[in-house]
Structures are given as C-alpha cells and as structure tokens.
Amino acid sequence: MAKSTKTPRGIRNNNPLNIRRSSHAWLGKITDPVSCPTVCPSGKLDPDFEQFTDLKFGVRAALVILRTYTSLHHLNTVPAIISRWAPASENNTVAFVCRWGQLTRHQRITFAQRSAICRLVLAMAAYECGSYPFSLDYAYRVYDTYFAPPKLPLP
C-alpha cells in the first residue's frame, strides 16, 4: 500500500532526516523506482531527497552522517552538528532537538555514546517529519545492528 502524499516526505521516502539526493551508494537506496512501488508510487524518484527501501536504511544513513560529523569533522555538540545539518535560517532547530532529544546545548557527544546519538537522530527526525517516525528503541536496534562492536565469544 502506497503512503499518502499527506504523510511527511521523510516518512514516505523512508528517509527521516531528509538526506539530499546524491551519488552516494547508501545501503538500501532506491535507484530504480519501479522496483519499490510502495515508496515510489508514481514510478519516479524524488528529485531532491534520497529514498530507501526500508526505514532502517534511512535511519542507518542518518547515523552514518552523524558518525561522520562527530568522528571526521569533530562536531561534538548539538549546535555544531545542527549548524552543519540545517541551514542557518533553521537555527531554532537546536532548541527543538535539545528539548526533544533530552540533550543539553553544550553536552559533548561522540558516536560511541549510543544513547545520546540515538536520541539525537530521533529528535532530528521528529523535527524534519513533524512527529516521531520511529521509536528510540528502533534507533537503538538500528545502531546495534550496524554500528555496535561485535560481541566476542567467551573463552
């Protein structure tokens, strides 16, 4: 069943942070709209934003971006991350994300801080989509599936 056009674009595209379309080969990225009619009911790709076959891939892509921001660009506070993510005209995003992500403005965040990163991605998704498109537990599951260190067997 196709998602209604009244549904926020980020939810329709399984891209809750509205990641801009690029040549990046994201895991789960839709490159052929005919192959995924539930996300591309018109048979066309969204010209502006990435589309994913499943929500988990959109959340994973968002987490990859946050990992890049925190690890490569050394952005480790909500304002630093948001100023890279959103245009300067959307700076009220910082207050929203801090409030709904239960984070403080000057709290230091690293990608290894599972709880903070997952709360941050959830709050950013809520801002982008106008509501929570997934739960914190869902964010934890995606993080654990793709980013948690492997559990070593006991000797």
* Mean pLDDT computed over 92-110: 79
Nearest-angstrom CA–CA distance, 116 and 75: 14
> 109-118 pLDDT, tens per residue?
999 999 999 9
* Mean pLDDT computed over 3-10: 80
| Distances 147 to 29, 75, 118, 138 between C-alpha atoms, Å | 18, 19, 12, 14
Secondary structure class of 49 (helix, strand, coil): strand
Which residue in this structure is represented by tokens 């196709």? 2
Secondary structure class of 57 (helix, strand, coil): helix
Secondary structure class of 75 (helix, strand, coil): coil
Nearest-angstrom CA–CA distance, 35 and 107: 42
* Mean pLDDT computed over 85-103: 73
Question: The whole model's pTM is what?
Answer: 0.89
Residue partners of 29: CB distance under 8 A and separation at least 6: 50, 51, 52, 53, 57, 61
Nearest-angstrom CA–CA distance, 79 and 61: 20
pLDDT at 63 over 90: yes
| Distances 107 to 67, 82, 110, 127, 136 between C-alpha atoms, Å | 16, 13, 10, 19, 19
C-beta of residue 53 within 8 angstroms of C-beta of residue 14: yes
* Mean pLDDT computed over 66-93: 86
* Mean pLDDT computed over 27-31: 96
